[in-house]
Every structure is written in structure tokens, then in C-alpha cells.
């Protein structure tokens, strides 16, 4: 049985979207038991429409809902201990849930998660990992916006955590990992990226296969299983990809309705266009994973529909079922222990 806590009040549409999404996830995974946190006057009438979900869940009434426009500090002051978001995260801390899922304010969710769960040993900053559709299937990209900037050690931590997530989600024994850079040559890029590449290459970790530097066009190709970058670049890449997907969809829609022959052609190619729409819909590949915390938190896109939120729950289910947290802890400990053996003790010059 997988236990999942859900913030019902998150997202652009709140429980009207979240509750049907949770119900869809339950249909796919009957072994989930949910703890649902929400404002009772808004949630009770919607939950009454889903008796199967009500039977497989416990509803906890809360006093406060974090707004999508609330600043993280404001959300912590107002919602700490009382909000649906905090209570859902806290359920992971108290071991009443294996994973928390929310479509709420990203900044507030990260701030509360860090404050409540704390970061793992040897992790200075958590990261948000996104599942990225590619020509080969799917890849993992991190960080896509948790923190701005990263030094070499933090990039290495991201690589370790991303590889562990790939093993948990894709069931790949030794995922390929690449560092996002402006070129594949070792002399190019920022010093932090070049140093991180050198350190990973020298460490020769058994849990991942270091590919080297990758460029922006490798994201869509699926050149590697895990792409590592810092939050500023990663977030821009994510928003650019989402915007490009919508742009292409609009181009296709306009082209298909331009002439009678185009509309007739669309009828015959409808199944192909539907498949393309599925591949390009950001909501279908939904669920950013907060990595580096003492617990699993999944961030759903705030504008996702019920199917998109169900996809985020699916990600949380897979992460909990495949032991993401223990895999990350194991890989990080292995790396840091291995690194300590590579340090050459300094010689005492006074004895010469």
C-alpha cells in the first residue's frame, strides 16, 4: 500500500480539478490510500461525487489555503501548522504518508518543504526535477527552478539525485548523465560546470554512466537519461519547451483549418495528430519532484487539468514504490565516501 497526502486547495482551480485528478489516479492504482487536506466547505460537496475515493481516503479539514500569489515568507507566516499545504507535507515528516502531492504555489511549497522536512545530509540545496519528453521516450532534467546558481559540488549532487530518480522511475540500472553546457568540448563553459564534469569523471560512480557535456538540442533528442544544470537555466529551458509546444500546436491548428483540402486531410490523419498532441501537451508529462529533502514532495503544474494532476500522482506513486529516497541516500553516501578515499593527505613541509 502506498500512502499519498494531497493538498486539495492547490492549483489554479483548487479542489474542482484536484479531486477528480486524485480519483483518476486511484482508478489506475487501487493500492493507494490518500490523506486529503482541504477546506471543508469547498471540498465536501466535490468529494461526495466520488464515493470510491472517499472510501480509500481520509479527509482532514484545515483552516488556511495558501494562495497562488502568496510570497513564500508570507505563506510560512500565515500557513505554518494550519494550511492544507503544510499539513500535507507534515504527513510525510510524521510517516503518515510516503509522498506529498500539491499543485500549489511553487515557492511556498519549496519553502515549506525545506522548513518541514529539511535537506538530506551532504545536500546544501534541493532541486526540482522535471520529466522531459524526448524522441527516445523520457529524460529527467534538474534543476528546473528550485535555486538560482550552483557550484560544482551542488551540480554533482544533482547528478547523483537525478540518476537515483531515473533508476526509480525508468528502472534503468546505470542511467546516462550529462551536464548542460554551451558546447561538448571540455574547454567550454563556466568553471563550475567544467569542474563538476572533471570530478564526476574521476569518481567513476557505479550508479551512473557519465556521458559528458550536452547542449540544448540534446534535451529533445534524449541523448542522456539525466540532464543536469542549475535552476536559472533549467527553468528557462522548461518554459521555452512548454511555450514551443503550444506554439507548434497553434501552427498546426491554423494550418488544418486554412483550406477545405487541409480540413479533409486532417480527417484522414486525425489519429496521427491526436498522438502528436498527446506528446506535446505539457500537462500529460506532469509532476516535478523535489529532490534532496528527507521526504518526497511532488509539484503538479498549477494549470494542469484532472488528467495532468493524476499524472503527478502517478509520479509520486512510482517514486514511493521504487524507494527513491533510499536510492538517493545510498548514492550520495557512496559518492562522498569514495571521494574521501581520493583525497591525498597534505605533506608536512616542516619535516623536509
pLDDT at 338: 66
Q: How confident is the model at residue 327 (pLDDT cuts 50, 70, 90)?
A: confident
36 plus 14 within the same structural domain: yes
Report d(CA 47, CA 45) in Å as an integer: 6
What is residue 116's DSSP assignment?
Answer: H
State the CATH number of the domain containing residue 183: 3.40.718.10
User: What's the domain range around 39?
Assistant: 1-123+292-322
Q: How confident is the model at residue 336 (pLDDT cuts 50, 70, 90)?
A: confident
Average confidence (pLDDT) over 231-247: 83
Please say if the pLDDT value at position 62 is more than 50: yes
156 plus 184 within the same structural domain: yes
**Location of C-alpha cell 503538479:** 300
| Residue 282: φ, ψ to 5° | -60, -30
What is the number of other CB atoms lying within 10 angstroms of the CB of residue 271? 8
Q: Specify if 344 maps to a domain.
A: no
Q: Specify if 328 maps to a domain.
A: no
Instruction: Give the range with max mean pLDDT: 121-125, 214-218, 266-270, 283-287.
Output: 214-218
Average confidence (pLDDT) over 158-167: 90
Report d(CA 323, CA 317) in Å as an integer: 10
Report d(CA 135, CA 221) in Å as an integer: 5
Q: CA 253 from chain center: how many Å?
A: 30
Q: How confident is the model at residue 114 (pLDDT cuts 50, 70, 90)?
A: very high
Mean residue pLDDT across the chain = 85
30 plus 161 within the same structural domain: no
Overall domain count for the chain: 2
Each residue of 16-31: pLDDT tens digit?
999 999 999 999 999 9
Please say if the pLDDT value at position 282 is more than 60: no
Please say if the pLDDT value at position 203 is more than 60: yes
280 plus 302 within the same structural domain: no
Contact criterion met (CB below 8 Å) for 163 and 207: yes
From the list 299, 249, 280, the residue with the least C-alpha distance to 6 is: 299
- Which of 285, 314, 332 lies at the terminal end of a domain, its last residue? 285
Each residue of 299-312: pLDDT tens digit?
998 888 899 999 99
119 plus 210 within the same structural domain: no
Please say if the pLDDT value at position 253 is more than 90: no
Q: Specify if 330 maps to a domain.
A: no
Contact criterion met (CB below 8 Å) for 4 and 100: yes
Each residue of 42-58: pLDDT tens digit?
999 999 999 999 999 99
**Location of C-alpha cell 538560482:** 148
pLDDT at 4: 96
- Which of 285, 311, 345 lies at the terminal end of a domain, its last residue? 285
79 plus 39 within the same structural domain: yes
304 plus 218 within the same structural domain: no
Contact criterion met (CB below 8 Å) for 289 and 317: no
Please say if the pLDDT value at position 277 is more than 70: no
Contact criterion met (CB below 8 Å) for 296 and 99: yes
Q: Any idea which of 118-122, 140-144, 219-223, 339-343 has the lowest mean pLDDT?
A: 339-343
pLDDT at 239: 81
Decide: helix, strand or coil at residue 20. helix
- Written as nine digits, the cell of 7 is 493538498
Please say if the pLDDT value at position 33 is more than 90: yes
134 plus 21 within the same structural domain: no
Contact criterion met (CB below 8 Å) for 128 and 146: yes
190 plus 212 within the same structural domain: yes
Q: Specify if 215 maps to a domain.
A: yes
187 plus 318 within the same structural domain: no
Q: How confident is the model at residue 5 (pLDDT cuts 50, 70, 90)?
A: very high
Q: Specify if 36 maps to a domain.
A: yes
Q: How confident is the model at residue 226 (pLDDT cuts 50, 70, 90)?
A: very high
Q: Which residue has the higher pLDDT, 337 or 346?
A: 337
Q: pTM value?
A: 0.84
- Tell me the CB-side half-sphere exposure of residue 335, using CA atoms within 13 A: 28
- Written as nine digits, the cell of 106 is 511553487
Q: Which residue has the higher pLDDT, 291 or 262?
A: 291
Amino acid at each position: 500500500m502506498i500512502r499519498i497526502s494531497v493538498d486539495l486547495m492547490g492549483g489554479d482551480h483548487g479542489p474542482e480539478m484536484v479531486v477528480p485528478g486524485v480519483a483518476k489516479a486511484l482508478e489506475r492504482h487501487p493500492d493507494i490510500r490518500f490523506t486529503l487536506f482541504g477546506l471543508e466547505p469547498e471540498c465536501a460537496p466535490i468529494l461526495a461525487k466520488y464515493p470510491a475515493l472517499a472510501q480509500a481516503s481520509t479527509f482532514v479539514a484545515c483552516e488556511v489555503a495558501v494562495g497562488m500569489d502568496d510570497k513564500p515568507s508570507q505563506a510560512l507566516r500565515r500557513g505554518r501548522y494550519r494550511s492544507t499545504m503544510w499539513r500535507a507535507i507534515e504527513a510525510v515528516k510524521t510517516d503518515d504518508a510516503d509522498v506529498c502531492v500539491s499543485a500549489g504555489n511553487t515557492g511556498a511549497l519549496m519553502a515549506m518543504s525545506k522548513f518541514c522536512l529539511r535537506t538530506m545530509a551532504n545536500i546544501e540545496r534541493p532541486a526540482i526535477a522535471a520529466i522531459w519528453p524526448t524522441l527516445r521516450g523520457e529524460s529527467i532534467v534538474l534543476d528546473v527552478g528550485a535555486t538560482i546558481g550552483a557550484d560544482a559540488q551542488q551540480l554533482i549532487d544533482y547528478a547523483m539525485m537525478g540518476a537515483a530518480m531515473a533508476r526509480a522511475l525508468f528502472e534503468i540500472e546505470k542511467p546516462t548523465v550529462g551536464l548542460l553546457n554551451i558546447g561538448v568540448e571540455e574547454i567550454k563553459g563556466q568553471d563550475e560546470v567544467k569542474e563538476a564534469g572533471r570530478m564526476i569523471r574521476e569518481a567513476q560512480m557505479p550508479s551512473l554512466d557519465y556521458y559528458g557535456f550536452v547542449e540544448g538540442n540534446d534535451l529533445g533528442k534524449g541523448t542522456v537519461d539525466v540532464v543536469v544544470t542549475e535552476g536559472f537555466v533549467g527553468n528557462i529551458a522548461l518554459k521555452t519547451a512548454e511555450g514551443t509546444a503550444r506554439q507548434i500546436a497553434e501552427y498546426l491548428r491554423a494550418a488544418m483549418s486554412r483550406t477545405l483540402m487541409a480540413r479533409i486531410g486532417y480527417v484522414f490523419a486525425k489519429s496521427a495528430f491526436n498522438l502528436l498532441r498527446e506528446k506535446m501537451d505539457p500537462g500529460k508529462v506532469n509532476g516535478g519532484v523535489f529532490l534532496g529533502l528527507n521526504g518526497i514532495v511532488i509539484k503538479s503544474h498549477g494549470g494542469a487539468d484532472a488528467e495532468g494532476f493524476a499524472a503527478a500522482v502517478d509520479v509520486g506513486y512510482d517514486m514511493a514504490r521504487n524507494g527513491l529516497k533510499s536510492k538517493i541516500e545510498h548514492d550520495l553516501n557512496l559518492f562522498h565516501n569514495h571521494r574521501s578515499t581520493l583525497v591525498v593527505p597534505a605533506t608536512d613541509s616542516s619535516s623536509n
